[in-house]
Amino acid sequence: MNFYQEVTLIRQPEISLYFIWSKVYTQLHIALVESKNSDNQVSLGVAFPEYRLNSDKKISYLGSKLRVFSQTEAELVALDLSRWLERLTDYVHISPIRSVPKQVNGYAIYKRKQVKSNAERLARHRIKRGDITYEEALQRYLNITTHCDLPFIQMHSLSGSDFTHKQQFKLFIEKIPATEIGKEGFNAYGLSQNTAVPEF
């Protein structure tokens, strides 16, 4: 990863940073979906430079910065973050494209962590049998608590045809130190199970 752009979320007294993250990341996800290659991979990865996780005190924090990395400057030019985030100009600052510093502090993998005990997901899966309604299935699974201490972004599923029934989900993000970058690529959230990005 040789180039990056940094998006800084601007704190607003009347709007939660979580709400801004949701809007920004939804737009980034759509942009990355459009840049998938024939292997369903994306060449652009993300990092959260202010990411914090204190497992003892159960404090997690994404911060207010997002970096989007690429191998070439042309990839970031083609992504055109400013176009995708143009409706959010009051809430974000987008840096120019920059070269990754020669000296970095190491590497990290940012990956999606899927939590298995989500009541809404279990209810959606259960109704596929066709013998109960979504509401009945949800009641059965409400006592299952979803507990994960990782930072997350609240997202809306973009799949399906009925906008009024879009499902919400938490995109939990786990950070793992790495010794090298790797070459597998990223998913449409800019995250990867094996490919790292520079830390600085």
Q: What is the dihedral of CA 79, 83, 87, 92, to 10 degrees?
A: 60
Q: How does the average pLDDT of the chain come out, rounded?
A: 88
The whole model's pTM is what?
0.82
pLDDT at 161: 47
Distance CA 51, CA 168 (A): 23
pLDDT at 146: 61
What residues contact residue 126 under an 8 Å CB cut-off, 6+ apart? Answer: 132, 137, 140, 141
Higher pLDDT, 138 or 29: 29
- Tell me: pLDDT of 29 over 70: yes
pLDDT at 117: 57
What residues contact residue 22 under an 8 Å CB cut-off, 6+ apart? Answer: 153, 154, 155, 156
Q: What is the pLDDT of residues 31-79, one digit of tens each?
A: 999 998 888 889 999 999 999 987 665 678 899 999 999 999 999 999 9
> Which residue type sits at 79?
L
- Tell me: pLDDT of 89 over 60: yes
Would you give the distance in Å from CA 94 to the centre of its chain? 17
**46-55, 86-95, 117-126, 138-147: range with highest mean pLDDT:** 86-95
Distance CA 142, CA 186 (A): 33
**109-113, 136-140, 164-168: range with highest mean pLDDT:** 109-113
The arrangement of secondary structure in 3-114+173-199, i.e. its CATH architecture, is 2-Layer Sandwich (3.30)
- Tell me: pLDDT of 194 over 60: yes
Distance CA 144, CA 139 (A): 10
Please answer whether residues 82 and 6 qualify as being in contact, where contact means their C-beta atoms are separated by less than 8 angstroms. Answer: no
Please answer whether residues 49 and 198 qualify as being in contact, where contact means their C-beta atoms are separated by less than 8 angstroms. Answer: no
Average pLDDT over residues 102-121: 85
Q: What is the pLDDT of residues 147-166, one digit of tens each?
A: 678 999 999 876 654 444 56
Nearest to 167 by CA among 120, 122, 132: 120
